[in-house]
Amino acid sequence: MFQLGRELKRFFGAETPFAAPRDGLAGRDAGILELLDLNMLRNEAQATDVAAGRVGAKDRPVLQLRQARTWCDLAERTGEADALRKAASAAEAALKVVDRRQRPELWADIRRQQAQCALVGAELYGDGGLAAAADHVLREATEAAPKSEGGALSCVLRTKIAAEAALLRGDGAAAIAAARSLATPIAALDAGQRQRASRRAPAFARLVRAESLAACGMLAKDEQVLEDALADAARATLTLDPAYEPLSWSRAAILRGEILTALGEISADAGFLSRAIEVLASVFDHLPRDHSPLDWARAQIRLGQALAALGEATGHADSLDRARHAFERALVVLRREPGLTLRAAAAQGRAAVIAAYAAQTGDIMALDEAEAAFRCELAAAEPKTDPVGWAIIQMSLAQVYQSRLALTGRDRGERARAAMALDAALEVFSEQGLRSLSAAALDSLDRLRDTV
């Protein structure tokens, strides 16, 4: 993949005195976007702006749809809110000039792209309202072109939204039923693959089913459901080529690692955890950090979770220390976009693994060092411009205080300081409407009050 990337740069990138073509490199083949690193992708997005805005441009809505896809891909890789806004704006502009009755498939493609922008926003920022809006848009896209590949993909995305909504209600059975209903659209995409070169659509559908089943399996601690999810993720990985589909392949491998970690935790089998670490480590061979920073950070977080689970299962403090480093590597990337839900996952993982390391080794000094580091971060944080980041550091500090209290058995003000930090974090999370983080802060407060 690296050799191919160098060739693309040589022909089209910064290594030549020539600028990218005004119409961009990808053209109608969105799959080529996967091969572009971040700088090339940004240039591609700007080139689509030029092409869509050119006076006398032919078939402008098609160019605007291409523009929306490229900016949305950039947002998905970086978490940049401006890129996501540009994608949504381009899709809206395209929709205004397309007649649904005359060009139903193009109209459906544009609506699906609008939904994709909303879903990316929901995933990046944890906004459940965006997912609900996407479901309404996808229903219209499915009705407009039910028998096309786009119709099948719209059905897949709607099913994903339904499964996630069922999980939020705590209805695991409904979520599993929704995931298993994807058999029909997956079969349709498999059949269509014989007539098209792209393998990405059926692989994406399998990954959606695997992700939904994995979430259900983790919630219910059901090994069989997790095994089914693992089979889907493994098949998707095998059908993709990391040299030509590096992002799709990496996302499939990251999901495989996550599922293997869950199986290892539920079954107490270190073999699953070792396989998870091996799979996740292989991602970095095909996905440099500057190709997709968020996917790279996500892989580091999953690697940290797998190493932490292995360290706790085997009693090896070295694995816990390696897990801390993985979370810290992810945080280096995620600090650039403070509002991302991934940043919260990395920060919580780092705090938990520091506490586990101290508990396992009895090393009070490790907790002192962690407290000093978190206090330095807190002093440098800007609560007005980045309230969520500030609150996450408060939660991390509270975790350190609770760990010291549990380890020493003596309360030297740790309980009060932990409660104060958690109260401050909970206030911010409630104001920002972040339900999952609010629940985590409340759970920590409850545990703190229950300890004697």
How does pLDDT run across 298-311, given as a tens digit for each residue? 999 999 999 999 99
Question: What pLDDT, on the 0 to 100 scale, is given for residue 383?
Answer: 78
How buried is 64 (Cβ within 10 angstroms: 0-12 exposed, 13-18 middle, 19+ buried)?
buried
Q: How many separate domains does the chain show?
A: 1
Cβ count near 22 (within 10 Å): 12
Residue 169 falls inside a structural domain: no
Q: What are the tokens at 84?
A: 């996501």
- Rounded Cα distance between 183 and 195, Å, is 20
CB 357, CB 366: distance < 8 Å: yes
**What are the φ/ψ torsions at residue 14 (nearest 5 degrees)?**
-75, -10
CB 297, CB 333: distance < 8 Å: yes
Question: What pLDDT, on the 0 to 100 scale, is given for residue 439?
Answer: 80
Question: What pLDDT, on the 0 to 100 scale, is given for residue 255?
Answer: 97
- Rounded Cα distance between 340 and 322, Å, is 24
Residue-wise over 168-197: b if at least 16 C-beta within 10 A, else e?
eeeebebbbebbeebeebbebbeeebeeee
Q: 65: which residues sit within 8 A by CB, 6+ positions away?
A: 90, 91, 94, 106, 109, 110, 113
CB 307, CB 295: distance < 8 Å: no
Residue 182 falls inside a structural domain: no
The residue segments making up the domain with residue 137 are 1-146
Residue 447 falls inside a structural domain: no
Question: What pLDDT, on the 0 to 100 scale, is given for residue 384?
Answer: 76
CB 125, CB 339: distance < 8 Å: yes
SS3 sequence, 147-176?
A: CCHHHHHHHHHHHHHHHHHHHHCCCHHHHH
Residue 138 falls inside a structural domain: yes
Residue 363 falls inside a structural domain: no
How does pLDDT run across 99-128, given as a tens digit for each residue? 888 999 999 999 999 999 999 999 988 777
Spans of the chain below 50 pLDDT: 11, 13-22, 195-197
CB 260, CB 279: distance < 8 Å: yes
Question: What pLDDT, on the 0 to 100 scale, is given for residue 28?
Answer: 59
Residue 110 falls inside a structural domain: yes
CB 301, CB 293: distance < 8 Å: no
- Rounded Cα distance between 109 and 92, Å, is 12
- Rounded Cα distance between 40 and 384, Å, is 34
- Rounded Cα distance between 73 and 113, Å, is 11
Q: What are the tokens at 178?
A: 């929704």
Place of tokens 């809110």: 81
Residue 206 falls inside a structural domain: no
Residue 51 falls inside a structural domain: yes
- Rounded Cα distance between 319 and 308, Å, is 6
- Rounded Cα distance between 251 and 118, Å, is 19
- Sign of torsion over alpha carbons 253, 257, 260, 266: negative
Cβ count near 17 (within 10 Å): 5
